Structure 1
Amino acid sequence: MAVDMFLLRELVVAIVLFFITRFSIQLLFKKPSRKLPPGPKGWPFLGALTILGAMPHVTLAQMAKKYGPVMYLKMGTCNMVVASTPDAARAFLKTLDLNFSNRPPNAGATHLAYDAQDMVFADYGARWKLLRKLSNLHMLGGKALEDWAQVRAFELGHMLRAMCESSKRAEPVVIPEMLTYAMANMIGQVILSRRVFVTKGSESNEFKDMVVELMTSAGYFNIGDFIPSIAWMDLQGIERGMKRLHKRFDVLLTKMIEEHTASARDRKGKPDFLDVVMANRENSEGERLSLTNIKALLLNLFTAGTDTSSSIIEWALAEMLSNPSILRRAHEEMDQVIGRNRRLEEADISKLPYLQAICKETMRKHPSTPLNLPRVSTEACEVNGYYIPKNTRLSVNIWGIGRDPDVWENPLDFTPERFLSGRNAKIDPRGNDFELIPFGAGRRICAGTRMGITLVEYILGTLVHSFDWKLPNGVDKLDMQESFGLALQKSVPLAALVTPRLSLSAYAS
């Protein structure tokens, strides 16, 4: 019995020593743990999905104050990192640009953008490059914008005359409806050689509603995107709505292309954008655009081209109506440079620094995309000493950067003067100054950046120069609440009374 007890004791000691030794060796040779960025722990299984709320850009900006400029969140089964300062944005969108040049899979790309067959959600590669090249050469680039300057002037003339009619009837002008109608017709003339809405009414308002719904639903944090195993359940009903909306857009786009094809023999003059795309569907790398790719591209151009620019113009007018002294100073500058006997022309903009400052200040405080369109890491990398795993989603909080008191003095105030002198005077919104990146930066910067800036400066300048503005009767203060989506909408659409301030002949052309 004594021998058995001795053997048993020795066996137990040996087993204990074995595990102690093995554990010590593992500790000795174990690779140092890779440190993830700080962030909230969230809930089991759901992670941080439950804490973002209805205004994720605001929540993430508040969380960044606690966790820092590079923040990690577990979103369902996915990793997500958020950049909340100019330096953090530069690290991801410039230093590591190539590693973050793809979009993560999501319901919006699948159900709205023809399964990512468009330019916005396509993988970085040959097809994306072909779509981007065609868009820049024939619609969005500098030379293309010059070529259709007359179209912009023509459609603005239509809009100004319609606003004059409203002023005669003392009717408020609903700004987003008016802008969508004008911009859709501008884009329609460039793409299809025709106005897509002949008269302002139910058809153009329905299109506006469809665009807003697309931008809103595509901006939702959809549970199925972050927990793919339960995506089929569509717990929030987001995907059902996307599928219905996609069918409506597909009918509209198919009709546009069919009518364009049928009218080919009757069209004379310079080929329009769709003509060029159809004739250059294949590149030297053997990449060929399908009809689905072309419809998806038109969807990008019509929706992003109208909604993002119109939202910035609406916010700018709302801020000026809330700050009459800014509107007065803009009028004074324009009267000195242009006078009141003609309309503002695009060539005047370079001589209107205060107007340009108003546009920049609006893009800072009310960026068209509050969270930069998501990207995903192709490989693991390191930022600010933190480990970023492969397949980590990236969001850049453009809204948060624009309202950061460490970046901007009195960021909640609307102060265009901040861009007229000092260190901010040379800041430009085209993606090189990371304090102000309303269109993003890097390879996946918004393809329509140049067009967006041109439209905002020209249309806003024309509206301000052409009219006196005041709130509708009975409205003492504007509701400046936001509505979250891919584009940052004003919760209550802006309506205002306008009075012509130029000579009558200025509105005739």
Structure 2
Amino acid sequence: MEYQYALSVSLSSMHIACFYWHALLLILVAFTFSLIIKTQTKDNENHETTRLPPGPKPWPIVGNLPEMLVNRPAFRWIEKLMSDMNTDIACIRLGNVHVVPVSCPSIACEFLKKQDANFASRPLCMSAELISSGYLTAILVPFGQQWKKMKKIVSNELVSPARLQWLHDMRIQEADNLVRYVYSQCSNNKDGLVNVRVAAQQYCGNVIRRMVFNKRYFGEGGKNGGPGLEEEQHVEAIFTLIRYLYAFSVSDYMPCLRGLDLDDHEKKLKEALRVFRKYHDPIIEERIQQWKDGRKKEKEDLLDVLITLKDGNNNQLLTPQEIKATIIELMIATVDNPSNAVEWAIAEMINQPELLENVTEELDNVVGKERLVQESDLCKLNYVKACAREAFRLHPIAPFIPPHVCMADTVVSNYFIPEGSHVILSRRGLGRNPKVWNDPNKFNPQRHLINNGPKENTNVSLNLTDPNLRFVSFSIGRRGCPGIMLGTSMTIMLFARLLHCFTWSVPPNASTIDLSESENDISLAMPLVATVKPRLPTEVLCKIDFGFSGVPKEN
């Protein structure tokens, strides 16, 4: 009897549990269908004269995620969709998110100039949350008070003209070190071969490490100013973060799947962030303690600036976590664009030797051969800047700029853009739009010069931005890059030093440089390795010597 009673109680409990599970399942199904109906209703209740931009028909719940997963990398799938549909604006629903890619400059200006205030936010996503330590920084943070606070700090305290002038000597020392490193590489190699990608990326890494930490190396460093193992790991971590930031991760559109890490993005981001913490955190924590103890009293670098910022009550303005996250963001914002543009530009110009002749003629006229290029020369180097602009136009570092989130329903170019949409400007779509550019796939710096001649533009100084978004080097608007001056200086100095000090040609056993793109991104498939020879007198190239901590000093 007791057994039968226990069994009946158990069966009753099972029936009750089963009832609750079925009830919960019905609630979930009802909720899901209500979301679908709500989404479809919202899409259909647009203004009578507007509709969503063209795009593939989405599946219920998942939208076009299945197609995206089958057609990796996602950016190539999106580019092909837009090409097949012959449209400059599209709408692709991923999960419940409308993703709106744009490749027309005039439409792009509607988003980031005419309606900039409505598109001044960023999406909540796994990669941005990890990199910004929970949205503590300036670039990756959604619109709000934290973004306003950090943007003001970055603009006024880190990359202002006065601050850049204060750190001028550090940048020049790293430009000198670049020359020393390339000179040693080509002099010690029978064929004079130099890996341009390594030289360019490490120069950019050196510059920002010097400006932030007042040091080039985390360890012993390499020979003749080259990177050590620590610096190689650091730069690799920077590009890992860049590769997976806003990289169409499944969990960004189906948050319930985040813990599964189906595309392995979260694991790779966390591994790269461990490298940053290993090299950054001991320096930052020790420096904070030095200021607390009174052992440090003078500011020498940007880390000191961040630590000593005070609020209205004379309390420390930034927490240690905000400082650490901001420094990571500075690193990833300064290394990628200059190094990628210069590598692509030199590769293109080696295949068109007349371009190298034009640029060296300008450098010799402006600078001469008895000294090295300085930052004060950069404003006069219009042909050098035209080559850099052309590299940004034709070979951007990433397929899209960081997403802009629509904060309220609106209409752009007669299309309905729902609240919450992710608007992504296609860097290549803008830069290679045949309605804007003649022969858009050809590397042609002259197109950026007045009257299309290298000597016709001497009275007007070019810059690397295009306010009409015909190409994107540094974005514009409220979420535009505040570090345009720094990015421009680093790009042109890197480019000018390499072209002024050395001649460049194809390596032995090759007739041209292979300009194939990587399968998974839009960098060169193979790092550029070229034959390099000094073109300035030896006494000019060799008057730089190493001083304290591997920092070069002039004799």
TM-score (norm 2): 0.80
Cα distance, 1:70 vs structure 2: 2.4
Correspondence for 2:117: 98
Matched residue SS, 2:90: strand
Q: What is the match of residue 479 of structure 2? A: 444
Match of residue 189 from structure 1: 210
CA spacing shift, 1:267–1:32, aligned 2, 3 Å = closer
CA displacement 1:381-438 (0-9 Å, x = unmatched): 1112221111111111121110111110000000001011259988854352221222
Give the secondary-structure state (helix, strand or coil) at the position aligned to 1:496.
Answer: strand
Q: Unaligned stretches of 5+ in structure 2? A: 1-44, 222-226, 544-553
Q: Secondary structure at the match of 1:71?
A: coil
Check conservation: 1:431, 1:441, Cα contact below 8 A: no
Alpha-carbon distance in structure 2 between the residues aligned to 1:433 and 1:477:
34
Contact 1:40–1:48 (CA under 8 A) maintained in structure 2: yes
- What displacement does 1:57 show? 3.9
Displacement of 1:447 after TM fit?
Answer: 2.5
Distance in structure 1 (CA, Å) of the matches to 2:46 and 2:161: 52
- Is the 1:340–1:502 contact (alpha carbons within 8 Å) kept by the matching residues of 2? yes
Q: 1:72 is matched with which residue?
A: 91
Distance 1:239 1:247 in 2: 12
For 2:372, which of 343, 349, 352 is the aligned residue? 343
1:232 is matched with: 259
> Are residues 1:470 and 2:505 paired?
yes
The answer for the alignment partner of 2:6 in structure 1 is none
What are the superposed Cα offsets for residues 39-70 of structure 1, whole Å, 9 maximum, x if unpaired?
12144544333445344444434433425222
Q: Partner amino acid for 2:443?
A: F
> Residue 501 in 1 paired to residue 535 in 2?
yes
Superposed CA deviations along residues 178-204 of structure 1, whole A, max 9, x for unmatched, are 223222222222222222345222221
Match of 1:141 in 2: 160
SS at match of 1:214: helix
Provide the residue aligned with 1:280 in structure 2: 309
| Identity percentage of aligned residues | 27
Deviates more, 1:429-438 or 1:216-225: 429-438
Q: Is the 8 A contact 2:89 2:102 kept in 1?
A: yes
Please give the alpha-carbon distance, in whole angstroms, between the structure 1 residues aligned to 2:401 and 2:316: 28
Deviation at residue 220 of structure 1 after TM alignment: 2.0
* Count of matched residue positions in the alignment of Structure 1 and Structure 2: 479
Distance 2:150 2:46 in 1: 44
Query: Is the 8 Å Cα contact of residues 381 and 387 (structure 1) preserved in structure 2?
Result: yes
Residues 1:374 and 2:380 are matched in the alignment: no
What is the deviation of 1:443? 0.6
Does the CA contact (< 8 Å) of 2:128 and 2:246 recur in 1? Answer: no
Where 1:490 maps in the other structure, the secondary structure is coil
Residue 355 of structure 1 and its aligned partner are, at CA, apart by 0.8
Secondary structure class of the residue paired with 1:478: coil
What pairs with 1:283-432 in structure 2 (closer than 5 Å)?
A: 288-422=317-451, 428-430=463-465, 432=467
Q: Secondary structure at the match of 1:489?
A: coil
Choose 328-337 or 353-362, whichever is displaced more. Answer: 328-337
Stretch moving more, 137-146 or 390-399 = 137-146
Distance verdict in 2 for CA 1:247–1:92, change over 3 Å: same
Q: Is this contact kept in 2: 1:403–1:412, CA < 8 A?
A: yes
Separation in 2 of the partners of 1:356 and 1:337?
A: 14
Structure 2 residue corresponding to 1:84, chosen from 91, 95, 103:
103
Mapped contact 1:61–1:84 kept (Cα < 8 A): no
Native 8 Å contact 2:125 2:246 kept in 1: no
Structure 2 Cα separation of the partners of residues 158 and 178 of structure 1: 10
Paired AA for residue 211 in structure 2:
V
Question: Which residue number corresponds to residue 11 of structure 2?
Answer: none
Change over 3 Å in CA distance of 1:188–1:428 after alignment to 2: closer
Provide the residue aligned with 2:128 in structure 1: 109
Q: Please, which of 131, 134, 141 is the counterpart of residue 122 of structure 1?
A: 141
C-alpha separation between the residues in 1 aligned to 2:326 and 2:518? 26
**Residue type of the alignment partner of 1:475:** A
On the 8 A contact 1:184/1:196 being kept in 2, the answer is no
